[in-house]
Structure formats: structure tokens, C-alpha cells
Structure 1
């Protein structure tokens, strides 16, 4: 992270002054939107289907957050969406993945879990088609557009038909393939020597009534 960004984040007058963590904590905060009368059953049923043994989780009136190692966090989020999928129900999930935020804390996470992702079978079976728009924000990086172009080309290489739309990139594929791509975008940012804090915002949609 640039010196300018660090100095700004550590200003004593900011609400998060003195916070921060060196732990490898990734987090995703998301909200599920089923467009149907029985939305409560779909939301709560989806949450109950997810094995959260590998992540720290919390649900409130607005959203749910999973925190821990990146692979396990994305395993849980994708399993939630796959489990909540219902035939004919228009549904969306909106979320953001973040790592390296100077306002983060070392607590509220699970980093000791090892082994296979608990929800792998659910995720691998999620072949339902979906649409996704995403926006990547590599923070404190002067040449951030190169990182954005890199992940765009990665979507192209995977056959996800990336399209540049206003303020975002649109891709399409199965639930499994789209979440696998989002996970690898995060991994690419975490492997970068220049990106110390990134945010990936995404919206995924299934069974949309919009005819294209």
C-alpha cells in the first residue's frame, strides 16, 4: 500500500484509528434477495444448508458476513446461493469481498480450519446458469486499470463472455463457474505485491424475467 494511503488511514481523527490486522482474513458481506412471497423460507433455508464450520459467520437484519480464509469464505457464500436457488424464482445475491482494509480487526474470524472445503459437493453441483456483474477496486494502486484488465481477460479465457458495461463488468456462466472465477480474482489480488487492500463488489442473478 502506498505511503500516502497508510498515512491517511492512520490519522488519529478517523473513526477506525488504531485498527488494522496483519492476519490473512478475507471477508464477504452479502444479502440475498428472492423475489417471491416465501422469501423468508428461502433465505433462512439457504443459510441453514451451509456448513459454516470453516468460517466465522454473523447474520443481522441487513446482511450476512463470513470471515476467514478466502477459499472457505467463498465456499460458504457460493453454497448459500446454490442452496437457496429455487426453480422459477427470480433471485439475486449482492455482496462484496474485502481483504487488507486498514479499518479491519483481528477478531471475528476463523483461520485454524484445514482440509477440504465443507460445502464443496454443493458448489460443484451448482450448474444452474446465472448472470453476474462485478466491479474490482484495488485500493492505493496507481496502475489499478491493469489489474482490472487482467481479470477481464481471465473471464474471457474461461468462456464467461465478459462485457464492459457502465461502471462494471458483466459475465455469465454456471453458479459454480462464476463463483470459482470470483474466488480466483481475489486470489490474483492477494498474490499481487502492489495490492494490499482490495474490494470486489458483485451481484449475481438467476431466473431473471428480463428477456434479452
Structure 2
């Protein structure tokens, strides 16, 4: 499979697509996400969390709809987790919806930081804050025939880590400490890299302090 095709019939037959000729061999991971604090203080929480999170190891851009971080997977995952932890307020219902992606044939080689090395910059600042979260996720390994085997691997990974995975319609649900859940999302992406899945998407929603009674 080349860089400009995910293997689907559309990408294989169309030559007038807007991303035709794009794609990159660079190890660029990305996450686009939107933070939803359910409070009238949402502006201060969102902007304060963005400011407090160290993004020196990722390329970042925020617009009216969302924020994107791009770079090496460990640093992208570190920044996303730190942003959610930094936004946490006791008793405030909050959700973060986003998707990790790597290997998209429509990607470009720019807009990333890949020269960074060493410990993730937010690792120590966020480690002392703990609270329970719920998460739903859906993994899409693209261009592979045995995709259900890759999905099964990450389901059992959640089970082995005590995250209590439950199959729900169109997604898997897990729950646990905020660090355990975000580290799991990072490791799902890392497993796709190890499994030689050249293009994958991991869609997720992380939620804390939900008022919904179950």
C-alpha cells in the first residue's frame, strides 16, 4: 500500500481528489479535539487549560471549533492528557471529544515537531492530579483485512489493565483513573504502530463528573 492510498476503492480509482499526491512517510501522529466544560466559566477553563499545558514538544493550532496537536505520539498524547487534567474542576461536568490519527494519505509533512526527544514535558506537572473518568472509544485500522483482530487486541488490553471494557453499540466503553485511561489511549495508538497498521483513527470521548445516574 503506497502513501497516497488507504486501500479503499475510492482512493484507488479517483485521481481528482483534493488530497491526491499528498501523504508522508514521516512518523507524524496527531490529535484533534474539543473540550466541553459544562459551566458558565467555560471560557476561563478552556483558555486557562490551553495556557497551562506545555505544548513545546508538539505543533499546535486552535481555532473556533477545535485544537490540534501534531508531532511524535508520546508528546501528542502527553499534551492531550495534560490539557484535560489542567481543565479539571471538582464537581464540574466536562467532556473531551477527539481523535488520534496517523498515516492518513491526505496528510502533509509539515506542521509538526519531530526533532524533540526526552521526557514528555507535562509528565511531572500532571501526575499528582487523579480523578475517575468514563470513556467511549472506537478504533479504525484502515486498509487492513484483519482489522477486527486489531480491535480485539485493544479490547483485551483494556481488560488486562482493569479498565472494565464493555461493548456498546458502535464503540467500546471503559472507565478508570484519568491517567490510566489516557495512557491506554496512547498505548492503543502505539500498538497500531507495532502492528504495522499504516493508517489508523482512534475516536474517543472522555467524560468526568457526569450527572447521569446509572
Please, what TM-score do these two structures have when normalized by structure 2? 0.95
The match for 2:202 is 200
> Given the alignment of the two structures, is residue 173 of structure 1 paired with residue 184 of structure 2, yes or no?
no
Q: How many residues align?
A: 211
Aligned equivalent of 2:121: 118
CA contact (8 A) 2:134 2:176 kept: yes
Q: Does 1:187 align with 2:180?
A: no
Q: How does 1:134-153 map to 2 (within 5 A)?
A: 134-153=137-156
TM-score norm. by structure 1 comes to 0.96
Q: Deviations for 1:165-210, whole angstroms, at most 9, x for unmatched residues?
A: 00000000011000000000000001113x1100000000000001
- How far apart, in 2, do the equivalents of 1:93 and 1:6 lie? 30
Residues 67 and 84 (structure 1), Cα distance of their counterparts in 2 relative to 1, 3 Å cut: same
**1:5 partner SS:** coil
Say if 2:42 is the partner of 1:39.
Answer: yes
Structure 2 stretches of 5 or more lacking a match? none
Q: Quote the residue 1:69 is aligned against.
A: 72
**Which moves more between the two structures, 122-131 or 178-187?**
122-131
Q: CA RMSD in A?
A: 1.5
Matched, 1:209 2:201: no
- Residues 98-126 of structure 1, C-alpha deviation per residue, up to 9 Å, x if partnerless? 00000000000000111110000133223
CA distance in 2, matches of 1:164, 1:6: 27
C-alpha deviations, 1:101-158, integer Å up to 9, x for none?
A: 0000000000011111000013322321000000000001111111101100000000
| Aligned-partner SS, 2:7 | helix
Alignment check: 8 A CA contact 1:75 1:123 kept: no
